[in-house]
Amino acid sequence: MEIMSSVAEAVDSRGHQLLLASTRAISGDWLKDFVQSHTTDGVILIGQGGQHVHINDIAKSFPFISVWGAKISDDQSYSTVGTDNEEGGFRATSHLLNIGRRRIAFLGYSNQPEIKLRDQGYRRALREFGLDVSPGLERIALAGKDVGYQTTRELIRSGVEFDAIFAVSDVYAIAALQALQEEGLRVPEDVAIVGYDDIAMASLYNPSLTTIRQNHIDAGPLLVDNVLSAMAGEKPKHIEMVPELIVRASSVPSAKK
Protein backbone atom coordinates (compact mmCIF):
# COMPACT_ATOMS: atom_id res chain seq x y z
CA MET A 1 0.00 0.00 0.00
CA GLU A 2 2.89 2.39 0.72
CA ILE A 3 4.33 1.77 -2.75
CA MET A 4 0.94 2.26 -4.40
CA SER A 5 0.42 5.50 -2.51
CA SER A 6 3.83 6.84 -3.48
CA VAL A 7 3.30 5.77 -7.11
CA ALA A 8 -0.08 7.56 -7.22
CA GLU A 9 1.41 10.76 -5.82
CA ALA A 10 4.35 10.65 -8.23
CA VAL A 11 2.11 10.02 -11.25
CA ASP A 12 -0.10 12.96 -10.32
CA SER A 13 2.81 15.32 -9.68
CA ARG A 14 4.20 14.52 -13.13
CA GLY A 15 0.95 15.34 -14.90
CA HIS A 16 -0.31 11.84 -15.60
CA GLN A 17 -3.20 9.70 -14.45
CA LEU A 18 -3.03 6.35 -12.70
CA LEU A 19 -5.09 3.33 -13.77
CA LEU A 20 -5.07 0.66 -11.07
CA ALA A 21 -5.57 -2.96 -12.05
CA SER A 22 -5.25 -6.11 -9.97
CA THR A 23 -4.67 -9.69 -10.99
CA ARG A 24 -4.21 -13.06 -9.36
CA ALA A 25 -1.06 -15.08 -10.03
CA ILE A 26 0.96 -13.61 -12.89
CA SER A 27 0.40 -16.17 -15.61
CA GLY A 28 -0.90 -16.53 -19.12
CA ASP A 29 -1.24 -13.54 -21.44
CA TRP A 30 -2.86 -11.07 -19.05
CA LEU A 31 -0.03 -8.53 -19.41
CA LYS A 32 0.10 -8.86 -23.19
CA ASP A 33 -3.66 -8.40 -23.42
CA PHE A 34 -3.48 -5.38 -21.14
CA VAL A 35 -0.73 -3.74 -23.20
CA GLN A 36 -2.49 -4.47 -26.49
CA SER A 37 -5.71 -2.90 -25.19
CA HIS A 38 -3.97 0.51 -25.56
CA THR A 39 -5.54 1.76 -22.34
CA THR A 40 -2.21 2.94 -20.93
CA ASP A 41 1.06 4.54 -21.99
CA GLY A 42 3.16 2.67 -19.44
CA VAL A 43 2.94 -0.11 -16.87
CA ILE A 44 4.24 -0.38 -13.30
CA LEU A 45 4.22 -3.87 -11.83
CA ILE A 46 4.43 -4.38 -8.08
CA GLY A 47 6.35 -7.63 -8.13
CA GLN A 48 7.25 -9.96 -10.98
CA GLY A 49 6.83 -13.37 -9.37
CA GLY A 50 8.45 -15.99 -11.56
CA GLN A 51 7.36 -14.34 -14.79
CA HIS A 52 10.58 -12.58 -15.82
CA VAL A 53 10.79 -14.27 -19.23
CA HIS A 54 7.15 -13.45 -20.02
CA ILE A 55 7.51 -9.81 -18.96
CA ASN A 56 10.84 -9.44 -20.74
CA ASP A 57 9.42 -10.73 -24.04
CA ILE A 58 6.65 -8.11 -23.90
CA ALA A 59 9.11 -5.37 -22.92
CA LYS A 60 11.13 -5.96 -26.09
CA SER A 61 8.33 -4.33 -28.10
CA PHE A 62 6.73 -2.37 -25.24
CA PRO A 63 9.65 -1.17 -23.08
CA PHE A 64 7.53 1.21 -21.00
CA ILE A 65 7.43 -1.21 -18.07
CA SER A 66 8.88 -0.59 -14.62
CA VAL A 67 8.88 -3.31 -11.95
CA TRP A 68 9.21 -3.21 -8.18
CA GLY A 69 11.60 -6.10 -7.70
CA ALA A 70 15.05 -7.46 -8.39
CA LYS A 71 17.03 -7.28 -11.61
CA ILE A 72 17.06 -10.77 -13.13
CA SER A 73 19.40 -10.64 -16.13
CA ASP A 74 21.88 -8.34 -17.84
CA ASP A 75 19.88 -8.30 -21.08
CA GLN A 76 16.68 -7.25 -19.34
CA SER A 77 14.35 -5.09 -21.46
CA TYR A 78 12.41 -3.54 -18.57
CA SER A 79 13.60 -1.43 -15.65
CA THR A 80 13.44 -2.36 -11.98
CA VAL A 81 13.44 -0.58 -8.65
CA GLY A 82 14.05 -2.61 -5.53
CA THR A 83 16.03 -3.24 -2.40
CA ASP A 84 19.31 -5.16 -2.29
CA ASN A 85 17.60 -8.37 -1.17
CA GLU A 86 20.81 -10.33 -0.76
CA GLU A 87 22.16 -7.64 1.55
CA GLY A 88 18.83 -7.57 3.40
CA GLY A 89 19.02 -11.30 4.08
CA PHE A 90 22.62 -10.90 5.14
CA ARG A 91 21.85 -8.07 7.57
CA ALA A 92 18.91 -9.91 9.10
CA THR A 93 20.90 -13.09 9.68
CA SER A 94 24.04 -11.27 10.82
CA HIS A 95 22.00 -9.44 13.44
CA LEU A 96 20.79 -12.74 14.86
CA LEU A 97 24.32 -14.12 14.85
CA ASN A 98 25.65 -11.00 16.53
CA ILE A 99 23.24 -11.43 19.46
CA GLY A 100 24.50 -14.95 19.99
CA ARG A 101 22.05 -17.10 18.03
CA ARG A 102 23.59 -19.99 16.10
CA ARG A 103 20.69 -22.25 15.06
CA ILE A 104 18.82 -19.90 12.75
CA ALA A 105 15.88 -21.20 10.76
CA PHE A 106 15.07 -19.75 7.34
CA LEU A 107 11.30 -19.49 6.95
CA GLY A 108 9.91 -18.73 3.52
CA TYR A 109 9.51 -19.77 -0.07
CA SER A 110 11.98 -19.72 -2.94
CA ASN A 111 9.93 -19.39 -6.14
CA GLN A 112 10.53 -15.64 -6.46
CA PRO A 113 13.83 -13.98 -7.39
CA GLU A 114 13.75 -11.57 -4.44
CA ILE A 115 13.30 -14.43 -1.97
CA LYS A 116 16.12 -16.42 -3.54
CA LEU A 117 18.40 -13.43 -2.99
CA ARG A 118 17.35 -13.16 0.68
CA ASP A 119 18.19 -16.84 1.05
CA GLN A 120 21.61 -16.17 -0.48
CA GLY A 121 22.17 -13.41 2.09
CA TYR A 122 21.17 -15.81 4.87
CA ARG A 123 23.69 -18.34 3.61
CA ARG A 124 26.46 -15.74 3.24
CA ALA A 125 26.04 -14.57 6.83
CA LEU A 126 26.27 -18.14 8.13
CA ARG A 127 29.42 -18.77 6.08
CA GLU A 128 31.09 -15.61 7.38
CA PHE A 129 30.47 -16.86 10.93
CA GLY A 130 31.95 -20.24 10.03
CA LEU A 131 28.60 -22.06 10.16
CA ASP A 132 27.13 -24.58 7.76
CA VAL A 133 23.61 -24.35 6.40
CA SER A 134 21.52 -27.04 8.04
CA PRO A 135 18.87 -28.57 5.75
CA GLY A 136 16.64 -29.08 8.76
CA LEU A 137 16.59 -25.34 9.42
CA GLU A 138 15.53 -24.28 5.93
CA ARG A 139 11.75 -24.43 5.97
CA ILE A 140 10.33 -23.75 2.54
CA ALA A 141 6.59 -23.18 2.24
CA LEU A 142 4.09 -21.39 0.05
CA ALA A 143 3.18 -17.76 0.58
CA GLY A 144 0.47 -16.96 3.09
CA LYS A 145 -0.01 -16.35 6.79
CA ASP A 146 -1.63 -19.70 7.59
CA VAL A 147 1.06 -21.62 5.76
CA GLY A 148 3.74 -19.74 7.71
CA TYR A 149 1.99 -20.64 10.94
CA GLN A 150 1.75 -24.30 10.05
CA THR A 151 5.35 -24.42 8.85
CA THR A 152 6.55 -23.02 12.17
CA ARG A 153 4.52 -25.57 14.11
CA GLU A 154 6.06 -28.33 11.99
CA LEU A 155 9.51 -26.94 12.75
CA ILE A 156 8.81 -26.90 16.49
CA ARG A 157 7.46 -30.44 16.52
CA SER A 158 10.24 -31.81 14.30
CA GLY A 159 12.64 -31.79 17.22
CA VAL A 160 15.22 -29.78 15.26
CA GLU A 161 17.03 -27.43 17.62
CA PHE A 162 16.73 -23.74 16.73
CA ASP A 163 17.09 -20.47 18.61
CA ALA A 164 16.15 -17.92 15.94
CA ILE A 165 14.05 -17.48 12.80
CA PHE A 166 14.68 -15.29 9.79
CA ALA A 167 11.36 -15.01 7.98
CA VAL A 168 11.29 -13.66 4.43
CA SER A 169 8.31 -11.42 5.17
CA ASP A 170 6.74 -9.77 8.21
CA VAL A 171 3.54 -11.73 7.55
CA TYR A 172 5.53 -14.95 7.89
CA ALA A 173 7.34 -13.63 10.95
CA ILE A 174 4.13 -12.69 12.77
CA ALA A 175 2.64 -16.08 11.93
CA ALA A 176 5.78 -17.74 13.31
CA LEU A 177 5.56 -15.62 16.45
CA GLN A 178 1.99 -16.71 17.04
CA ALA A 179 2.90 -20.38 16.61
CA LEU A 180 5.83 -20.06 19.01
CA GLN A 181 3.73 -18.38 21.67
CA GLU A 182 1.02 -21.01 21.40
CA GLU A 183 3.64 -23.72 21.89
CA GLY A 184 4.90 -22.01 25.06
CA LEU A 185 8.15 -20.63 23.60
CA ARG A 186 9.23 -17.12 24.59
CA VAL A 187 10.23 -14.47 22.06
CA PRO A 188 13.01 -13.40 22.14
CA GLU A 189 14.30 -15.37 25.16
CA ASP A 190 13.88 -18.81 23.57
CA VAL A 191 13.63 -17.85 19.90
CA ALA A 192 14.54 -14.51 18.34
CA ILE A 193 12.72 -13.46 15.16
CA VAL A 194 13.53 -11.11 12.29
CA GLY A 195 11.07 -10.39 9.48
CA TYR A 196 11.24 -8.44 6.22
CA ASP A 197 9.35 -5.39 4.86
CA ASP A 198 8.52 -3.39 8.03
CA ILE A 199 4.76 -3.43 7.51
CA ALA A 200 2.63 -1.34 9.88
CA MET A 201 1.76 -4.34 12.07
CA ALA A 202 5.46 -5.05 12.72
CA SER A 203 5.79 -2.23 15.25
CA LEU A 204 2.37 -2.86 16.82
CA TYR A 205 2.60 -6.57 17.53
CA ASN A 206 3.67 -7.83 20.96
CA PRO A 207 6.57 -8.25 21.05
CA SER A 208 7.30 -5.72 18.33
CA LEU A 209 9.04 -7.22 15.33
CA THR A 210 12.63 -6.70 14.26
CA THR A 211 12.62 -6.42 10.49
CA ILE A 212 14.34 -5.26 7.32
CA ARG A 213 12.84 -2.01 6.08
CA GLN A 214 12.46 -1.36 2.37
CA ASN A 215 12.15 2.24 1.24
CA HIS A 216 8.64 2.12 -0.18
CA ILE A 217 8.19 5.89 -0.08
CA ASP A 218 11.07 6.63 -2.45
CA ALA A 219 10.17 3.65 -4.63
CA GLY A 220 7.11 5.31 -6.16
CA PRO A 221 8.83 8.28 -7.81
CA LEU A 222 11.66 6.04 -9.03
CA LEU A 223 9.23 3.57 -10.62
CA VAL A 224 7.30 6.37 -12.33
CA ASP A 225 10.44 8.10 -13.56
CA ASN A 226 11.69 4.83 -15.04
CA VAL A 227 8.51 4.55 -17.12
CA LEU A 228 8.75 8.16 -18.25
CA SER A 229 12.43 7.71 -19.12
CA ALA A 230 11.58 4.69 -21.28
CA MET A 231 8.88 6.74 -23.01
CA ALA A 232 11.57 9.33 -23.73
CA GLY A 233 13.68 6.67 -25.44
CA GLU A 234 16.19 5.99 -22.66
CA LYS A 235 17.49 2.54 -21.80
CA PRO A 236 16.05 0.66 -18.81
CA LYS A 237 17.55 1.54 -15.43
CA HIS A 238 17.99 -0.82 -12.54
CA ILE A 239 17.92 0.92 -9.19
CA GLU A 240 18.85 -0.96 -6.04
CA MET A 241 18.27 0.69 -2.67
CA VAL A 242 20.01 -0.15 0.59
CA PRO A 243 17.90 -2.11 3.12
CA GLU A 244 17.74 -0.97 6.75
CA LEU A 245 17.72 -3.21 9.81
CA ILE A 246 15.09 -2.07 12.34
CA VAL A 247 15.75 -3.67 15.73
CA ARG A 248 12.75 -4.18 18.00
CA ALA A 249 11.77 -6.39 20.91
CA SER A 250 11.61 -9.71 19.01
CA SER A 251 15.40 -9.82 18.86
CA VAL A 252 16.77 -7.35 21.39
CA PRO A 253 20.54 -7.82 21.77
CA SER A 254 20.27 -8.03 25.56
CA ALA A 255 17.92 -11.01 25.52
CA LYS A 256 19.27 -13.99 27.44
CA LYS A 257 18.27 -17.56 26.81
Please check whether residues 127 and 219 belong to one and the same domain: no
Please check whether residues 172 and 99 belong to one and the same domain: yes
Contact, 82 vs 70, CB < 8 A?
Answer: yes
Please check whether residues 108 and 206 belong to one and the same domain: yes
What are the two backbone dihedrals, phi and then psi, of residue 228, each rounded to the nearest 5 degrees?
Answer: -65, -35
Rounded CA gap, 246 and 188, in Å?
Answer: 15
177 part of a folded domain: yes
Would you give per-residue pLDDT tens digits along the chain (257 residues)?
A: 889 999 999 999 999 999 887 766 555 577 777 788 777 889 999 988 778 888 999 999 999 999 999 998 888 999 999 999 999 999 999 999 999 999 999 998 767 889 999 999 999 999 999 999 998 998 876 655 577 899 999 999 999 999 999 999 999 999 999 999 999 999 999 999 999 999 999 999 999 999 999 999 999 999 999 999 999 999 888 999 999 999 999 998 754 54
Domain enclosing residue 162, as ranges: 85-213+246-251
Please check whether residues 94 and 160 belong to one and the same domain: yes
The tally of domains found in the chain comes to 2
What confidence score (pLDDT) does residue 257 get? 47
What confidence score (pLDDT) does residue 36 get? 80
Please check whether residues 70 and 113 belong to one and the same domain: no
Please check whether residues 94 and 207 belong to one and the same domain: yes
256 part of a folded domain: no
Please check whether residues 186 and 108 belong to one and the same domain: yes
Please check whether residues 96 and 209 belong to one and the same domain: yes
Q: What is the CATH number of the domain that holds 154?
A: 3.40.50.2300
Contact, 251 vs 193, CB < 8 A?
Answer: yes
257 part of a folded domain: no
Rounded CA gap, 47 and 5, in Å?
Answer: 15
Please check whether residues 208 and 222 belong to one and the same domain: no
Q: Which of 254, 230, 241 is nearest to 76 (CA)?
A: 230
Please check whether residues 131 and 232 belong to one and the same domain: no
pTM of this prediction?
0.89
Rounded CA gap, 98 and 215, in Å?
Answer: 24
Please check whether residues 90 and 153 belong to one and the same domain: yes
Please check whether residues 118 and 207 belong to one and the same domain: yes
What are the two backbone dihedrals, phi and then psi, of residue 46, each rounded to the nearest 5 degrees?
Answer: -90, 90
